Structure 1
Amino acid sequence: MTNLKNTAALKVLIAGGYGHIGSNIARHLRKKHPEINLILGGRHPEKGHQFAAEIGRTECIFLDVNKPFDSDSAGSPDLIIAALQDHKNMLFDAAVENNISYISITRTADEVAPMIFKALQKQPLSKLVLTDHWQAGVLTIVAKQVAEQFQQINTIETACVYDELDPIGPMIAAQMDSFVTRALIRNEKNWIFVDATEYPRDFYLANGTAARGYPMGTLDVPSLASLTDASNVRFDIVIGQSIGTNQGKNASHDLYIDIEGILVSGKPAKMRTIVSDPAGQSHLTALGVLISVEGIFGLSGQLPPSNGGIYLPETLLNATNAVKTLKEFGVTITQTEI
């Protein structure tokens, strides 16, 4: 539990807060930091009233990202979490103009440039965190921790396994067709955009079955390349049975992180790390947002940044503390040499 003196006055606006991912974010925040005030925004606030009453210290407001943002009408939040599609960047622009901290989760690598340019030019005092990585940065944070075992990394191949039995909300459903289109990858230190359907990758899942993945332009690719200077980096999406389904349980959401290079000991190695959330992808995405909220406000052992501007999960967070929070919520992380 956090320090009530420091956090009882904090207000967090979750745009799309009573949707599939937004409600998971709200539940995680309420469980971990019950004193924070939550505001759920959307075009139909009446749909969130029952949920708001259930979790407490929560109000619902009308919010339309196609209309001008008024901070007072939105409850004067300290942080805006964009858990919905905001193609006009209305929430990001409002955060910059009003010095409100901000978290995004829906952008691909070629969609963040307008946000970065605006932040660099405006130099806001608030913290603007682009968690548009897969699962809001969870994959990159775990990979960052694993990478510390290596003195040199040549290749990082990452993937998610999307299980069709894992329920998704309308926001993700609307994005599914765009997941396998143009993708950014790093190949022999060259940055290239590829037609995902022409660059498949075959590998084996945890149960030994063969899988085929297709690249997707998430922010994990430039993040991991910058962190490690690996010559080859890609992120692939696979549609198949998850670890949970294979075990006769609810569908899990599984992340695969394969890193090849030279260990600190001097031994060449290829290590596989599997991150699995038995509660599914929306639960895991919300956990990624939770740890970034903790990073912004300096909660759960995280140190808050002293300056405003653009941050990424790996520049904001202490990976050890972040992984600890993931495990507290039931996420398993296993590692083997392959």
Structure 2
Amino acid sequence: MQAIVILGGYGVVGSQIAQILRQSHPDLALILAGRNPQQAQQLVAELGGPTSAAAVDVFKPQPLAELQPRAIINAVNDPHDYVLQEAVSRGIPLVDITRWTSRLQQTLNGIDRNTLKAPLVFASHWMAGLASVVAFAATQQLAQTEQMDLHVLFSLKDKAGPNSIEYMEHIATPFTITEKHQPREVYPYTEPQTVTFPNGYRAKTYRFDTPDQWTLPQSTKAASVSARITFDDRLTMGLLLGLARSGVWKLLMHRRFDRLRHALLYNPGKGAAHELVWQISGRDHAGKPQQLTKTIVDRQGQTHLTAVGAVIQLETMLGLDGSQAFAPGIYFPETAPKLAYALGRMQQLGVELN
């Protein structure tokens, strides 16, 4: 039986992907894959149905050679692109939620789109692309989109998977944004803006890199797109700002400091709400200026929101939502799913949209 292979399927995010899929699609075959499949046995028993575990090592070529996947959800880093290469060569539909912007761009440059035999959904955007889905939906009421600003409130009490470290390690690496239709290089943790989040917390947010800033200017034709983040602990926020601005973080990127960096960045809690605010400006079809504010709150935290995003991408890619499955090609979150379905599905799975 062909199954959905969830790489990292017994991890923090992967296990929630599996739980949502099992609840929503009781007869869907699932394989929880990773280097230590014995760790998945309890979850396999809890999920029931056609669920199993398999040994897959993404650090080795052809990691899925022993499996016949119907589709892959990749929830672990694919450092050598072995998973991607196998999906492309074997024509396996893939949802990938693991690549920061520069890696995503490099990956796409190496893919011959004319030879693809299956859809590839690259959803490494914030929370597996759900932030961009909400933003793209909001811009549909505008004739012209001028500015899109994403603000993220990250709780230190929230759950987090170890793969989140790679995203956070780039706090001293410059990246490119689109501003007034032109590329501009910026540095993380600079150019703050002050915003109030749905829970009333008011703080300065700072630039960070996420693929949303690269794909949204293409999909919405927005003149400017930016993303900023803050932590709900001001001392921690101040420490990261100091490390980034002083140049100390660049020194800490040496391999000898791996444990220290990981200790600073990876201290997951037991769970807390994850909150996002979109501030969008533009003009309506009558030419009048418009200011839109959209908020996203997941009381179960950022890992749950990421899992919801991955599930929505899979459902729309394979046609599990009742629509036609995707043709072979490359897709991004905001333009891949049917917007009405995606927004409704988010709310059905406990995500609050306003």
Letter in 2 for 1:50: Q
Amino acid at match of 1:17: G
Q: Note the C-alpha offset of 1:82.
A: 1.1
What residue ranges of structure 2 are gaps of 5+ in the alignment? 234-270
2:192 and 2:98 map into 1 onto residues whose CA distance is 23
Once the two structures are TM-superposed, the CA of residue 111 in structure 1 deviates from its matched residue by 0.8
Contact 1:110 1:217 in 2 (8 A): no
* 2:94 match: secondary structure: strand
- After superposing the two structures, state which structure 1 stretch, 157-166 or 198-207, moved more: 198-207
Give, in whole Å, the separation in 2 of the partners of 1:159 and 1:183: 17
- The AA in structure 2 aligned to 1:58 is T
Which residue is 1:314 aligned to?
A: 334
Q: How far off is 1:210 after superposition?
A: 3.0
Q: Deviations over 1:236-275 (max 9, x none)?
A: 122127xxxxxxxx62111111101112354312111001
- Structure 2 match to 1:61: 54
Consecutive unaligned residues in structure 1, runs of 5 or more: 1-8, 242-249
Structure 1, 323-332 or 227-236: larger mean CA deviation = 227-236
Q: Which amino acid aligns with 2:148?
A: I
2:160 alignment counterpart: 168
The equivalent of 1:258 in structure 2 is: 279
Tell me if structure 1 keeps the 8 A contact 2:188–2:209. no
Question: Does 1:332 pair with 2:352?
Answer: yes
Give the corresponding residue for 1:189: 181
Cα 1:258–1:47 change in 2 (3 A) is same
Letter matched to residue 62 of structure 2? F
TM-score normalized by the length of structure 2: 0.84
Contact map agreement 1:301 1:321 (CA 8 A) in 2: no
Pairwise CA distance, 1:72: 4.7
Q: Distance in 2 between matches of 1:316 and 1:113?
A: 18
How much has 1:229 moved relative to structure 2?
1.5
Q: 1:277 aligns with which of 273, 298, 323?
A: 298
Of 296, 318, 330, the match for 1:297: 318
Aligned partners of 1:17 and 1:208: how far apart in 2?
A: 35
Provide the rounded CA distance (Å) in 1 between the counterparts of 2:172 and 2:154: 13
Change (3 A) 1:54 1:179: farther
The residue type paired with residue 214 of structure 1 is Y
| Structure 1 pair 181–114 and aligned structure 2 pair: CA distance change class (3 A) | closer
1:100 corresponds, among 80, 87, 92, to 92
| 2:103 aligned partner | 111
Displacement of 1:70 after TM fit?
5.2
Secondary structure of the corresponding residue to residue 78 of structure 2: coil
Tell me which residue corresponds to 1:148: 140
Give percent identity, aligned residues only: 31
Alignment of 1:20-99 (within 5 A): 20-56=12-48, 57-69=50-62, 71-73=64-66, 75-99=67-91
* CA root-mean-square deviation: 2.0
CA distance in 2, matches of 1:255, 1:332: 10
For 2:33 and 2:200, the matched residues in 1 are separated by 44
Supply the distance in 2 between the matched residues of 1:192 and 1:124 (Cα, whole angstroms). Answer: 32
* Runs of 4+, deviation exceeding 4 Å: none
- Could you tell me how far apart the structure 2 residues matched to 1:274 and 1:121 are? 35
CA shift in 2, pair 1:64/1:123, >3 Å: same
Kept in 2, the 8 Å contact 1:185–1:215? The answer is no
